[in-house]
Each structure stands twice: as structure tokens, then as C-alpha cells.
Amino acid sequence: MSLLTLVFLAVIQGITEFLPISSSGHLALFPQLTGGEDQGQALDVAVHVGTLVAVMLFFRAETADALRGTGHLLVGRWKTEEAKLAALLALATVPVMIAGLILSVTGLADAMRSVEVIAWATIGFGALLWLADKKGVQTRAYEDWGLRDAVIMGLAQAVALIPGTSRSGITMTAARGLGYDRVDGARISLLMSIPTIIAAGALKTKDLVESGDSALGLDALIGAGLSCVAALIALSLMMRMLANWTMTPFVIYRFALGGALLAWLYL
């Protein structure tokens, strides 16, 4: 894969992973719209790992809390705030792991990487995001995150395996529906991405090792590094935006992208 293609993929991933506009949808669209070879799931996960490093750095205090909480759980200290955070993040990850395994075994993961699926999911879940943001109150904060919320947002996260849905978009939609303000809803959503990306990366690492393709390994390393830089920039900008903006600009983008794709398909 050329360096230029890697740069495009890394920037696409870095910018779109944490915006509610679907990184997986954009990555799946890239080869279909450019006529190039599909970069494959392994490289997709590599650039996701880059964004994993970015979100862990950006939310380093919360990440440290979750790591300490994991240690607390392992030694039976269940009642600390850190243990609560670690347990809720683990719980929220279970649905997407189960759904991801089912899609992988059945082959539906690759089958859904079509322009038509991405277009309709982009529009449909964009409309759901707009509705939740418009109707949702902003009475709850990060500290209020509990068991019921983790289950609901975890189930929503599993739906994001449909390309075009947006993992951050659907979990922010759920958070707004649960009454969280935009900034703290995004904060929870982005923290949920950490164990999810780790799980996805672990599943694909075996494929990378077994392939014995050193070029793929180098491509993955370059892509991960570039996507990390792009993601840190995008994260900083998005969190500042959410402090003052509604979700409407992202919804407009989703409608425009989905509409353009449908026009390209059917006209």
C-alpha cells in the first residue's frame, strides 16, 4: 500500500473516529469510491489502535482511574469509585464483543461493508442523533453513570457494528436520551471506546501474526501512528465544540453524505 493511501486512511480514521459520523463507514467507503483495493479489516483495526492511544492520552486521568479500578477489582476492592468505573466499562463492552463475534463467524461483517448499507445507516442514525439531542435534557453528569446506563449504552454500541452507524454517534445518542449533557455524554462514550478497541485489536492481532506479511505489519504501524496524531487534534476540537454547539452540524454532514451516496447509487 502506498504511503499516500496510508496517510489518507489514517487521517480519515483520526478525524472521524470520535466525531459522530462513523469512522468504519468512511474507511469502508474509501476503496469503493476510489476504485482501489479494500484495505481490509486488519488495517482498519490498526488505525483504530492509533486512535486508542490518542483517547487514552487525552483522557489520561480517567484512563488511570480505570486501570487502578481494574486492579481494585482483581484484589476484591469492589466499592471504590475506580472499581465502579472499571466494572461499568467492562459491562458496556460485553454486547459489542458478543455481536462482533457473531458477525465474524457468520461472515456478515464483510457483507455489510457496502455503500448502500453505509448510506442508509448514515442517514437513519443521523436522524436518531438529532432527535435525541433536540429532545434530550441535560441534567446528568459523568459522575452519574451507573449500571442501567452502561447496559443501555453498551447495547447501543453493539449496533454500531453496522457500518455508517458510528460508535461514538450511537453511544452519544444513547447518552443524550439518558439525560447526559453533551460534553459528559461524549466523555463517557469515548471512554467506552477504550476496551472496545482493545478487544477488536486483540481479535485481529492473531490474523496479522498468522499472515506473516511484514509489509502489512509495517503499514499497520505507520497507519496507527498517523491516526493517533490526527485523532488527538480531532478530539481537542470536538470537545471544545460540544461545550457550545448542538449535534446539528454533525447531523447535517451525515444527511449530506448519505444523500450523496444514495444519489451516486440510484441516479
Query: Which amino acid belongs to residue 146?
Result: G
Question: Rounded to an integer, what distance in angstroms lies between the CA atom of residue 115 and that of residue 215?
Answer: 28
Residue 60 exposure: Cα atoms within 13 Å on the Cβ side:
5
The phi, psi pair for 140, rounded to 5°, reads -120, 150
- pTM attached to this predicted model: 0.90
Spell out a b/e string for 23-40, using b for 16 or more CB atoms within 10 Å of the CB, else e. bbbbbbbbbeeeeeeebb
Measured from the Cβ of residue 90, the count of other Cβ atoms closer than 10 Å reads 16
Question: Rounded to an integer, what distance in angstroms lies between the CA atom of residue 118 and that of residue 193?
Answer: 21
Model confidence over 231-244: pLDDT tens digits?
Answer: 999 999 999 999 99
What burial class does residue 243 get, using C-beta atoms within 10 Å of its C-beta: 0-12 exposed, 13-18 middle, 19+ buried? exposed
Local confidence pLDDT in tens for the 267 residues of the chain? 677 888 888 888 888 888 998 877 787 787 777 776 666 666 777 787 898 999 999 999 999 999 999 999 999 999 999 999 999 999 999 999 999 889 988 888 878 888 899 999 999 999 999 999 999 999 999 999 999 999 999 999 999 999 999 999 999 999 999 999 999 999 999 999 999 988 877 776 666 666 665 455 677 788 889 999 999 999 999 999 999 999 999 999 999 999 999 999 998
